[in-house]
Amino acid sequence: AVVEEGKVTWQSPSNIALVKYWGKKENQIPANPSISFTLDSCQTTTTLHFQKREKSDSFEFELFFEGERKESFRPKIQKFFERIEEYMPFLKDYSFKIETSNSFPHSSGIASSASGMSALALCLMSLEKKLDPTMPEEYFTRKASFLARLGSGSACRSIEGELVAWGEHNGILGSSDLYGVKYTHQVHENFKNYQDTILMVDKGEKQVSSTLGHDLMNGHPFAEKRFQQAHENLDLLKEVFETGDLSAFIKTVESEALTLHAMMMTSQPYFLLMKPNTLEIINKVFDFRERTGLHLCFTLDAGANVHLLYPEKEKKESLDFIQTELLQYCQNGQYITDKVGKGAKQL
Ligand code: PMV
């Protein structure tokens, strides 16, 4: 079809990894498989305006973030376009205006690359679908994830919900290094509507970009063992999802978070991304579990903020505890309550 101009809007969520992606090969191929909960309310909304033009040899796009021109995003988007051009040969036939906004406070230290890159990938797929209206649904979803991966690895896990795996792994149906796949194995009702409260410990700029972080796994003394462990932990989680064993869930998820940080602490150069308040929170979570027998646990990304995961049926007690005892460790008392979500949607 011929498409002269138009616009399309997608809203795409963030995700939180349970088994962490840390280390990559050429072309954004993960060194190990990962799995994440798709989030619900932490999301990016992106509108892509497109207008047909004479084909030229450079990309043309304007960038707006929360209503204002945002030139600082340009290098990242330029690089993204360069990477995906071979899969989207029509990109240089259009001039674009890309408007985005986030549901979470910016500079909250919440990474927006997963929600942002997946939202943009979906918008571009919608344009491709206008050019090729017979495109099957499954192709759309898969290619959106494939493109999102080329923007930011973890973004490929944000297209669908509620659990998404990325990276080839024997036990996971359809898994691929090239895109995320919806986890279709049995999931116990304990994990339905799992909650994630994100504590903003430190809103400062990330000390290590994830690009640098992944690179540090090249030649890392523990790399091979770590990549193997990720496979083992995926197997463990698969069993946990089947049985609903929350104690085993906690053991695997918390170990994954600490291992991610251990990798950063033992690379060369080394990075210490936890803050004193990160540790205060973790210790309080241990105490709380000891005291109550409940199943609140933590996980971390490559930063100081803490994600607190807990089953919906323990929501009241967990949230009470968080609000009375943990907010003192947050910058300006800032936190976000979120839960597992169903993936991106077109608006
Ligand atoms: O998607 P990237 O390249 O920003 O890497 C994200 C890595 C972690 O958030 C630390 C772990 C993960 O699997 O999401």
The predicted structure's pLDDT at residue 195: 98
Q: What domains does the chain contain, in order, with CATH numbers?
A: 5-187 (3.30.230.10), 194-339 (3.30.70.890)
The predicted structure's pLDDT at residue 70: 94
CA of 23 to the centre of ligand 1 (A): 9
| % of the chain residues with pLDDT over 90 | 94
| Single pTM value for the model | 0.97
Give every residue of the chain whose pLDDT is below 70, as ranges: 106-109, 111, 205-206
The predicted structure's pLDDT at residue 1: 87
CA of 21 to the centre of ligand 1 (A): 6
Short-list 170, 176, 129, 138, CA closest to 157: 176
pLDDT tens, position by position, 151-187: 999 999 999 999 999 999 999 999 999 999 999 999 9
Nearest-atom index, ligand 1, CA of 152: 1
CA of 139 to the centre of ligand 1 (A): 25
Phi, psi values for residue 292, rounded to 5°? -110, -20
| Cβ 153 under 6 angstroms from ligand 1 | yes
* Ligand 1 atom 9 nearest Cα: 301
Q: Count of CB atoms within 10 A of residue 140's CB?
A: 17
The predicted structure's pLDDT at residue 205: 63
| Cβ 141 under 6 angstroms from ligand 1 | no
CA of 22 to the centre of ligand 1 (A): 7
Q: Give me the residue label for tokens 């170990």.
A: 255
CA of 298 to the centre of ligand 1 (A): 16
State whether ipTM is beyond 0.90.
Answer: yes
CA of 176 to the centre of ligand 1 (A): 17
| Cβ 115 under 6 angstroms from ligand 1 | no
First to last CA, the chain: 22
Residues paired with 47 in a beta bridge: 9, 99
| Cβ 301 under 6 angstroms from ligand 1 | yes
Q: Please give the Cα distance from 279 to 223 (Å, whole number).
A: 25
The predicted structure's pLDDT at residue 108: 63
The predicted structure's pLDDT at residue 55: 85
Q: Please give the Cα distance from 65 to 3 (Å, whole number).
A: 26
| Cβ 21 under 6 angstroms from ligand 1 | yes
